[in-house]
Amino acid sequence: MRAAKGGAHEQGGKHISGGEQISTFEGITHAVNFLLEKGLTHSKGSPDFMQIQFECIHDSVRLLKPLDVQSHQIESVEKGQALARQLLRQAGVPKSSIETLDQLLPSYSRQGGAVLFDIHSDRPIDERGIRVSRMDWQPDNYEQWAAYHGVPRNLRMKEALVLATKVTSHPAAVAELCWSDDPDYITGYVASKRLGYQRINKLKKFGDEQGCRIFFVNGREDIESYIHYLKKQPIFIRWEEAE
Ligand code: WAQ
Ligand code: MG
């Protein structure tokens, strides 16, 4: 699902909301209703354009364990941003790539997708946003995970953890940096395979509609196959209690 205001995204409309689910055939009505509701009731406003598409998945679904989650409580946006940059360094993103962020962020935030950024050339690989799709987490397994970890149920965090787990599990991925473009949601995260999902409670000011989703990649890997993986490889997150 993708929803925009002021026309479709490709006609310059403002991105309002997006979402993806994997469903059985019997579950399609429920999934489509869920996504319709999500796009229609959004803090960024009412859309005047929405597209919901469903397609049959022929490939087998790969299972991934959710990334470990760690939360940081920070008292200011400045400290949150500084921590995010420190975590990116720890994940293997060079200083030179991090230094380009401030200039790049404003132009990145407009489209409803993510930007791939090559840590070797310090440049974005594709200016258009890439939409990660075909990933989900079965509700009963998610509930078990949340209960075990004492995490309050939070659909937004669930979706972000699903996406971050998919994005960082590929060999070309170095790290992800994300915060929402929704004006009322200021928690964001840095994720990598090694660091896990590092939540930071303040990465922007309340009311700010500028979001961020950057996938730092190793441009020496096969990026075409990474993009194919992001868009097409079906993934279920599946948690199992450690023995
Ligand atoms: N593929 C690529 N980019 C996406 C996708 C996707 N499937 N979904 C969202 N984006 C991009 C898009 O450009 C949005 O503008 C931006 O990310 C933010 O999306 O409490 O809510 O759905 O632990 O607003 C993170 C913290 C919340 C959750 C992130 O993002 C938590 C969030 P939003
Ligand atoms: Mg949003």
- Asked whether residue 56 is assigned to any structural domain, the reply reads no
pLDDT tens for the chain, 243 residues: list them: 999 999 999 899 999 999 999 999 999 999 999 999 999 999 999 999 999 999 999 999 999 999 999 999 999 999 999 999 999 999 999 999 999 887 777 666 566 789 999 999 999 997 678 999 999 999 999 999 999 999 999 999 999 999 999 999 999 999 999 999 999 999 999 999 999 999 999 999 999 999 999 999 999 999 999 999 999 999 999 999 886
Structural domain including 190 reads 64-237
Distance CA 161, CA 156 (A): 9
Q: Domains in the chain: how many in total?
A: 2
Contact 88, 216 (CB under 8 A): yes
- Asked whether residue 163 is assigned to any structural domain, the reply reads yes
Are 47 and 70 contained in the same domain? no
- CA–centroid distance, residue 48 to ligand 2 (Å): 16
Are 40 and 157 contained in the same domain? no
Distances (CA, A) of 6 to 1, 28, 184, 193: 17, 28, 21, 38
pTM: 0.95
Are 145 and 172 contained in the same domain? yes
Are 165 and 47 contained in the same domain? no
* Burial class for 140, CB neighbours closer than 10 Å (0-12, 13-18, 19+): exposed
Closest C-alpha to ligand 1, atom 3: 113
Ligand sitting nearest the alpha carbon of 154:
1
Q: Which atom of ligand 1 is nearest to the CA of 212?
A: 16
Are 75 and 125 contained in the same domain? yes
Q: Is the CB of 19 under 6 A from ligand 1?
A: no
Are 30 and 140 contained in the same domain? no
Are 94 and 212 contained in the same domain? yes
Closest C-alpha to ligand 1, atom 14: 112
Measuring CA to CA, which residue among 82, 112, 85, 93 is closest to residue 180? Answer: 112
- Asked whether residue 57 is assigned to any structural domain, the reply reads no
The dihedral region occupied by 26, where left means phi > 0, alpha psi between -120 and 50, and beta the remainder, is alpha
Are 15 and 92 contained in the same domain? no
Are 170 and 117 contained in the same domain? yes
**Which pLDDT score is estimated for 243?**
66
The residue whose CB lies within 8 Å of the most ligand 1 atoms, and thus the one to mutate among 181, 201, 235, is 181
Are 41 and 110 contained in the same domain? no
Query: What is the CA angle 123-16-174, rounded to 5?
Result: 30
- Asked whether residue 212 is assigned to any structural domain, the reply reads yes
Based on its alpha-carbon atoms, the radius of gyration of the chain, rounded to whole angstroms, reads: 17
Are 201 and 86 contained in the same domain? yes
